[in-house]
Structure 1
Amino acid sequence: TPQMNVRLGWSQTVARPHFRELSPYEYTDVTGGPSARGNPELRRTRIRNFDLRWEWIRPPELLAVSLFFKTMRDPIEPVIEPSNETTIISFRNVAGARNAGLEVEVRRSLGFLGTAGQRAQVSGNYTYVRSRVTIGRQQLNVLTSPQRPLVGQSAHLFNAALEYEIPRMSAYARVLAQYIGRRLSEVGAYGLADVVQEGYPTLDLVFAKQFLGEAKRMELKVSLENMLDRPIRFRQGSDPYWFYRRGRTVQIGLSYRIR
């Protein structure tokens, strides 16, 4: 029998600066790009989260819709600014930011396709986020774009998965796809344009087999991650800025369940 739930949530958290964001020394990220230097005067970010979620559940199927709203005080953003003959990334607190959005989540069995479909299910979720920052008076003459989304926040996020069970082998296979929409990477200062990371897809494959007696206490898992290996590109204004590839990853794991 289907079941419906409505959930209302509120929480308050803090996000503290990372060590490298506080360190006053210059460094370069392992993926390349411009040099960066921390800011020891950074303040922690205070965050308030509000969310409302409606669920329709008929195991293993699910339909859920969530509305969420997040306010941030003193969020930390990377800022790209001129330094001698080049540019450097530093970190600043902005006055505040707000994120509001909608998430839709679906999980569906493919049993209507016949016997083979009963072993498969698809799932996916889509998230839309509207983000805005508030710039303090002291930074209005420093930051190039006073009206913009928060750094690192994509307006569109999409995930999808297809899983297939193989009972006679005590195994399953899973395909995972994700798309991350374009987002700000660094904020421009003193007339420099903002740096934008272009959207990109990813594709992962997973195969797992359980064995060792009727209890199947041991599991062998093989994961192939980032199979598309699309270049992650950045633009500053209308000009290409830089890009890198994450590379493909193969992971093999063996686990044993005691109970």
Structure 2
Amino acid sequence: MTDPSRLTLPAPAKLNRLLHITGRRDDGYHLLQTLFQFLDHGDTLTFRESSDERLELDSPLAEMADDDNLVLRAARRLQQRSGTSCGARIRLHKTLPMGGGLGGGSSDAATTLHGLNRLWRLGLRTPELAEIGLELGADVPVFVHGHAAWAEGIGEQLTRVELDTPWFLVIHPGVNVSTPTVFKDPELTRDTPPITITRALQGGASGWRNDCEATVRRLYPAVDAALDWLGSRAPTMLTGTGACVFARLESQAEAASLARELPVAWQAFVARGVNRSPLQDALDR
């Protein structure tokens, strides 16, 4: 029998299958155009309702300062916004690497908002949760809405899209890329002309690129090496600001075969691209 006081949900990874930087606002935030797609691979969170309003987190990141922990920040923001007196014990099973460009922290925050909204029976709608999520980070709303999207602005203006759903080999070359460092770099491309969503989709994956890639290659030799190794075998791109790189492949078997050739210093996983988030599938079950 299902325990109504306990809920386990996925927090899937994302890929940026295209990432253009079109400008910079006066407040320092960069203006982007990007295509977000989910993977059927990610972290897992378990929520258990507590008898008081305390929030407790059990995870490999428990030593992280509370102000930097997006799971606890999301839970507290939801408590404050809803006025609930409920609390929870949260267990985070961390699979996605930090600083990998896979959106792990943002995805964990979105799953926390959905999970506690369900566990605490708050009844908040998805747009309300996305609004809370935006206060935590520009990537959080796409995980809350749970569908592949064309994003503009600082990444918060979302339009649902349907992308192809190939298999991917995703490599983490063992370094943690600092997003602020990449975005502060004076040589970062910041003047790509904006394009329409129609043009982006008509161009297809063969024409997609990541404007952060040249900067990350220069600053992080391990990422440069991973891009060269994988790019010599299949169409390859950096996701987000890195450090993960991914290759688009036609089958799971092809991706798994390539993974077996991987240099021992790197980690990798095989996953399929999906347009509907595994979180949404889990919430509907």
TM (norm. structure 2) is 0.18
Give 1 or 2: higher helix fraction. 2
Give 1 or 2: higher strand fraction. 1
Structure with larger RCO (C-alpha < 8 A, sep 6+): 2
TM (norm. structure 1) is 0.19
Q: Which has the larger radius of gyration?
A: 1
